[in-house]
Amino acid sequence: MKLFAAIASSALGIRITDPTTGFQALNSRVMRYFAVDNYPSDYPDADAIMLLGFRGFRLREVPVVMKARMAGTSMHTGAKTILYVFKMFLSILVVLLRERILKPRGATS
C-alpha cells in the first residue's frame, strides 16, 4: 500500500495515502469516463487514481474508519499477493506510458 501510494503521489504531485482501499466515491462525470472503457479490468487501485488525476479529475482523500473483517478472507493471500503486486506494477506502467504518449514532454495542459 505504501509503495503504491508513493508512486501515485509522485506521479500526480499530490499526497495519496491509500490507493488500495477500493472504497471510493465517484461523481457522474467519473462514472461516464469509466463507462467508456477506461476502467481497469482487474484491480482498480493506484492505476485508476492516477488515470483520473492525469485526466484532470479532482481527487480528494477523506479519512474513513475501516473495521476488522468479521468473516471471509482477504483477496490478497499467498501467491495472490505476488500476482497482485505484479499486475499493479504492470497496470501503473501502462498508465504512465499512456500518459507520456498522450501528453509528450513540453506539452502544457
The answer to whether position 83 is within a domain reads yes
- pLDDT mean over 65-85: 81
Residue 12 · residue 50 · CB < 8 Å: yes
Q: Is the pLDDT at 12 greater than 90, yes or no?
A: yes
The answer to whether position 109 is within a domain reads no
Number of domains in the chain: 1
Range of the domain at 87: 2-102
Q: Is the pLDDT at 71 greater than 60, yes or no?
A: yes
pLDDT value at residue 106: 53
Torsion angle, CA of 21/25/30/34, rounded to 10 degrees?
40
The answer to whether position 107 is within a domain reads no
The answer to whether position 37 is within a domain reads yes
The answer to whether position 62 is within a domain reads yes
